[in-house]
Amino acid sequence: MEVVATRIRRRDLHLRTGSHYRPGRLILTLLTALLITAALPAAAAADGPVTPTATNYLARVTHEPRGVQAKVVDGYLNLWMQVPAHETVVVLDFEGAPWVRFDPAGVQINLNSEEYYLSQVPVPAIPPKGLTRNTTPRWRVVSSGHSYMWREGRLHALATIALAPGASYVGPWTIAVTVNGHPSSVSGGIWHTGPPSPIWFWPILVMLACAVAAWRVRSPALDRRLGRILLLVLLALIAIGMAGRYLHGRPGIQTGNVILLAVILVALAAAAGRALSGKSGLPLLAATAIVALWAGLTLITTLTHGYVLLATPALVARTVTAALLGGSLSLALIGVRALDRVRT
């Protein structure tokens, strides 16, 4: 009997110590992944991500030919233009060669322009040798409409210029065009802002601290209540964050984005309904934590870059991002506790 009692005491001690140390290991692992992921957008900022959610540089159009609409998209990476159907507008590359042509038939790009190669996404290509402004154009039809968007290196090249401390205006940019054969231009400027305050990361730590405090109470009833509240809050935050991301026009809201957002909202509503009916078991809890963490990581540049490129205001976007990251990690802790109970 004494041997059996000793084994039982050892088993209980193992369960208690395992439950005590697992939160720390889980927090350390998840925070490490969070910090590594947070560093990736900063490392890619020099080249610019494909579809950024935030940036430290912002270009604006200040002049455009009459009748032509131009808009900078994705902060400082792309230029969108729309031309009246009855006019012919040719955008020239930095060498003066024809690059994009708008005419009554639609939009064409010149494959013999150096900018065709330099505008490739995500990695620019090396132009063939011998291309000049006098090289015979080789046109390819890209649209039957009268608007087009392309990666414009003359915009984001300014992001490599060293700025004086405290300076916000980087400099002007100009893109030469011809309108019905007459020279003109699209021009503007680019501005810089520093990253927001690191205080935006504090809510993540505060939420984790509260989750750890709840963990130490070791109350199944408290865990269930806290888990359900966090689950419902995170589902709402995911909906807000994804709406801000997919309803941000580039320059107009695309039908595919609306459909995708609708599917996401339906799934979130179904999950919320299940939680409110008292059926929020471990699988739903774990899935919500993973999806919330993913959503927070896709928006994390709003906490590290100054200009937010979402449909929601910067304050809302940063609040949602911080709450998604902190809430997902906190919900993961509660999930580990529930998993321990299942095992025991």
- Answer with the residue of higher pLDDT: 203 or 251: 203
Residue 179, domain member (yes or no): yes
Q: Are both 203 and 330 inside the same structural domain?
A: yes
Q: State whether 202 and 334 are in the same domain.
A: yes
Residue 1 lies in a domain: no
pLDDT at residue 97 tops 90: yes
- Chain segment 241-289, per-residue pLDDT in tens: 999 988 887 777 777 788 888 888 888 888 888 888 876 677 888 888 9
pLDDT at 47 over 70: no
Q: Return the percentage of the chain with pLDDT > 90, whole number.
A: 48
Host H or E run for residue 192 = strand 182-192
| C-beta of residue 116 within 8 angstroms of C-beta of residue 148 | no
Of 192, 213, 236, which residue is a domain's last?
Answer: 192
Identify the residue with better confidence: 342 or 61.
61
Least confident piece of the model among 46-55, 177-186, 313-322: 46-55
> Among 108, 115, 195, which Cα is nearest to 152's?
115
Residues 37 and 125 in one domain: no
Residue 6 lies inside a defined structural domain of this protein: no
- CA distance linking residue 136 with residue 134, whole number of Å: 6
Average of per-residue pLDDT values in the chain: 82
157 class by beta-carbon count within 10 Å (0-12 exposed, 13-18 middle, 19+ buried): middle
The answer to whether residues 240 and 106 belong to one domain is no
What is the domain range of residue 92? 57-192
176 φ/ψ angles, rounded to the nearest 5 degrees: -75, 140
Provide, rounded to the nearest whole percent, the portion of the chain with pLDDT above 70. Answer: 82
Same domain, residue pair 207 and 112: no
325 and 265, same structural domain? Answer: yes
The pLDDT, as a whole number, for residue 50 is 65
Cα–Cα distance measured from residue 168 to residue 60, given in angstroms and rounded to the nearest whole number? 13
Has residue 112 been placed in a domain?
yes
Quick one: 35 and 62 in the same domain? no
Q: Are residues 141 and 215 in the same domain?
A: no
CA angle (60 as vertex; 57, 66 as ends), nearest 5: 165
CA atoms lying within 13 Å on the CB side of residue 218: 7
| CA nearest neighbour of 238 among 120, 321, 313 | 321
Instruction: Please tell me the pTM assigned to this model.
Output: 0.77
Q: Is 7 inside a domain boundary?
A: no
Question: Same domain, yes or no, for 284 and 165?
Answer: no
- More confident of the two residues 228 and 337: 228
Q: Is the pLDDT of residue 9 over 70?
A: no
The pLDDT of 103-131, averaged and rounded, is 91
3-state secondary structure (DSSP) of residue 258: helix
